[in-house]
């Protein structure tokens, strides 16, 4: 489980094919690897991955073909990625509860500079539209954000300068593909309502 508060911007310094999947080596800068053990989870651009090797300030993860088919931004060697270690029970929850299980890939429609902040507008897959609500939470490339507007499957979020400084979202542009995870609460509410009709 994660919070969507990015701890570091890392980079994929090696991407090796492994039977259709990939083995990625990710270099960190400020993440702090001293307490990371083999088997620990780290969210890479919002995707929960398991550490299989660790050396210095780098860690290695295996990514299955299924995960690659359902996500964006993990294939390119040299790509910069948002990083967050899994939450500990004593950690503050500064964002919202994030599982690291990407629900779909969205497309950036626009990234507008409003001088004091920026508006990021994204088209989500149609199947996710019903879970996205104004003032609700959504995760974009691992970053916990609040939805400002929704029209059908298109939604927008406001980005403050700190968010742009601390994440890779400033590198997005129209046409960029982004990993989306909807709020867990929306999933549970839907399930509870469906169970009442059974």
pLDDT digits (tens, 9 = 90+) for 120-135: 999 999 999 999 999 9
pTM: 0.93
**Nearest of 63, 6, 68, 46 to residue 140 by alpha carbon:** 46
> With contact defined as beta carbons under 8 Å apart, do 159 and 169 qualify?
yes
Predicted confidence at residue 191, as pLDDT, reads: 72
DSSP bridge pairs for 140: 143, 180
* CA within 13 Å, CB half, 76: 11
CA distances from 109 to 126, 151, 153 (A): 15, 13, 12
Ranges of the chain whose pLDDT falls below 70: 90, 198
Question: Which domains can be identified in the chain, with CATH numbers?
Answer: 8-85 (2.40.30.20), 104-196 (2.40.30.20)
Predicted confidence at residue 198, as pLDDT, reads: 67
The C-alpha atoms of residue 180 and residue 131 are separated, in whole angstroms, by 11
**Nearest of 133, 127, 141, 134 to residue 180 by alpha carbon:** 141
> With contact defined as beta carbons under 8 Å apart, do 60 and 54 qualify?
yes
């Amino acid at each position: 489980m994660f919070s969507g508060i990015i701890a570091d911007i890392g980079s994929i310094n090696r991407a090796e094919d492994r039977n259709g999947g990939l083995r990625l080596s990710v270099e960190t800068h400020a993440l702090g690897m001293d307490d990371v053990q083999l088997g620990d989870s780290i969210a890479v651009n919002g995707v929960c991955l398991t550490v299989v090797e660790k050396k210095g300030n780098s860690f290695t993860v295996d990514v299955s073909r299924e995960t690659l088919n359902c996500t964006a931004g993990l294939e390119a060697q040299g790509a910069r990625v948002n990083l967050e270690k899994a939450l500990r029970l004593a950690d503050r929850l500064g964002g919202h509860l994030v599982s690291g299980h990407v629900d779909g890939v969205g497309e950036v429609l626009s990234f507008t500079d409003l001088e004091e902040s920026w508006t990021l507008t994204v088209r989500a897959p149609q199947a996710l539209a019903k879970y996205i609500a104004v003032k609700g939470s959504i995760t974009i490339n691992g970053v916990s954000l609040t939805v400002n507007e929704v029209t059908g499957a298109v939604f927008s979020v406001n980005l403050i300068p700190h968010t742009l400084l601390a994440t890779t979202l400033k590198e997005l542009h129209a046409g960029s593909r982004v990993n989306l995870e909807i709020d867990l609460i929306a999933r549970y509410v839907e399930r509870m309502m469906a169970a009442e009709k059974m």
